[in-house]
Amino acid sequence: MHVSAKLVKVKMLWTLMLVAFFPMLLIAFYSYYNIKNQIIASELAHLEAIAKLKSLQIENFYYEIKGDLHTIQFSPYTKNLILNRDINLNEAKTLFEQQLNEYIVEEEINKIFIIGLDGKILASSLKVQENHTDSFNKTAFEEGKSKIYFSDIYKSDIHRGSSTEHNNYLFTASAPILDYDNRLIGVIVAEFSADNFFNQIQDYSGLGESGETLLGKRSGDKIIFLNPLRHDPNAGMKRSASIDGKLAKPAIFGATGHNGSGVSVDYRGISVLAAWRYVPTAGWGMVAKIDQNEALRPLETIRNSILLTVVVLLVIGAVFSFLMVKNITEPIETLANEAHLDALTGLPNRKYLKELLDQVLSKAKLENSLIAVMFLDLDGFKSVNDTYGHETGDLLLKEVAFRLNSCVRQSDTVARLGGDEFIVLIPGTKEARNVETIAEKIIQVLTKEFDLDGISVTISASIGICVFPDHALDAEEMLHKADKAMYEVKNAGKGNYRFCDDSPL
């Protein structure tokens, strides 16, 4: 195939491949990122629903506590006890404290105090003295004089009879007690357990292997994690994160009064999908999150399917492009072959030889190297052609072309000028002796007997040689001098070779 035909084929093949490949690549990328965004949006919606549900559970939990406080706060027994309106005060106090203890059992309250404005304990679920003020939270007492108050979560032991439960999550709530004329007469202070509440909040259903829910509360320039964490069970009330830091962003957003969702970084420094909500009643931030790698795990299967589809389509496109280019370029190749190759032997013809010779001459002039041209004419070919016919003559020419190619290097070129005339182009030779070796080999090979479909014939060859730059400086001159040298060999007896500047044989 001629160089220009090859170039056309390669260009068309690449063009068709690119036309087929880039749209498929764009579609694949679009599909991948569209599916990825859909998965992220779906997962965030799921996390938002969980965060909202947990926030409502927190709100309901606090409403229930307020209900418990109201039950005791507005009870006539509470008011009468403080106002000393019972005839038998000691008996009434005993009965009231029994009721408080029963309430504790039913409502999972650790302890309850009814405290007078002077700070003395008037009634309690515990057996403590009236002046035993270390038993209740002083801040809660003072805050409870004017409003319903909730303390921060803290960890402490719970004493129940002879047994002690260690490291429980607790908080204190308080509320004012008013008389029948709505005047402040005392305060109710109660300590509540948050363990069951935290267990409810930390239900990881629907959050996979890495997901979790957590609570955070702002404390100065930090966020304190209130509950145990899935990836750090001992974090409750101990672990914190700076509000200005790069970690625990969802908890920071929630605890500072924001609602939202998105891709963020958790307290471990891992990329997560998270939803966060602020719970005004408690002043907490609620977060529901899952590791991004786990959330996008289904995308791996989808990605592999997309890649497989792209590869299959690319192979189909490549095969289709190749076949299309082949059909389009076959006429071009045929024309190129007809224009540059000898139809009988498949060797370069005279026109193509001139192009090749001009190219190697230009290169030789730059590199200061030698080029040899052998002009070869078969001795005895006409006799074979006349005796056995043109078909046998054609077979002989094909065999000669084959033997000539076996005598030269891969960088050399064997061409047919027409009839029984051949050219051997030898570029880049270092010395004339190398050319002589090739010429001797050619003569030796061509004098061997040819078997042409059962017909044995013997011929020889006469070779004229011209070397650039010793004998000629351009293509026409080299061919002319090599031709002249060849005829001199024929006139001298045939079956030999000579250089164009040699003395007569």
Q: What CATH number does the domain containing 361 carry? A: 3.30.70.270
The predicted structure's pLDDT at residue 128: 45
Query: How confident is the chain (505 residues) per 10-residue block, as mean pLDDT?
Result: 55 61 71 84 92 88 84 79 64 63 62 87 66 72 90 74 70 89 90 78 81 86 80 73 90 92 91 92 87 84 71 64 57 56 89 90 87 94 91 93 92 91 90 89 94 91 92 91 93 91 59
Q: Do both 189 and 276 map to the same domain?
A: no
Chosen domain end from 257, 279, 297: 297
Quick one: pLDDT at residue 18? 63
Same domain, 356 and 463: yes
Q: Which of 279, 222, 490 is nearest to 382 (CA)?
A: 490
Question: What pLDDT shows up at residue 131?
Answer: 45
Q: Which of 168, 197, 226 is a domain's end point?
A: 197
Domain shared by 139 and 251, yes or no: no
CATH of the domain at 283: 3.30.450
In a domain, 318, yes or no: no
pTM of the full predicted structure? Answer: 0.56
The answer to whether the beta carbons of residues 286 and 213 sit under 8 Å apart is: yes
**Do 356 and 239 fall within a single domain?**
no
Residues 359 and 495 reside in one and the same domain: yes
42 located within any domain: no
- Choosing from 420, 451, 474, 483, which is the catalytic residue? 420
Tally the domains of the chain: 3
Domain region containing 135: 74-197
- What span, in angstroms and rounded, lies between the C-alpha atoms of 221 and 190? 30
One domain for residues 449 and 384: yes
The answer as to whether 22 is a domain residue is no
Query: Which phi and psi angles does 86 have, rounded to 5°?
Result: -85, 140
In a domain, 380, yes or no: yes
In a domain, 308, yes or no: no
Q: Any idea what the CATH number is for the domain that residue 182 is in?
A: 3.30.450.20
Helix, strand or coil, per DSSP, at residue 139: helix
Quick one: 188 and 263 in the same domain? no
CB 268 within 8 A of CB 249: no
Say if residue 370 is in the same domain as residue 495: yes
**Residues 476 and 356 both lie in one domain:** yes
**Helices 432-446/390-407 angle, 10° precision:** 140
Task: For residues 210 and 182, state if they share a domain.
Answer: no
Q: Is residue 454 part of a domain?
A: yes
502 is catalytic: no
Q: Kindly state whether residues 212 and 179 are assigned to the same domain.
A: no
Q: Has residue 48 been placed in a domain?
A: no
Q: Is residue 30 part of a domain?
A: no
* Exposed e or buried b per residue across 295-310, where buried means at least 16 C-beta atoms within 10 angstroms of its C-beta: bbeebeeebeebeeeb
Shared-domain flag, residues 380 and 449: yes
| Domain end position, chosen among 179, 197, 215 | 197
Which pLDDT belongs to residue 114?
Answer: 87
What span, in angstroms and rounded, lies between the C-alpha atoms of 105 and 112? 12
- Sequence-ordered strand ranges (E) for 161-270: 163-178, 184-193, 212-219, 222-225, 240-242, 260-265
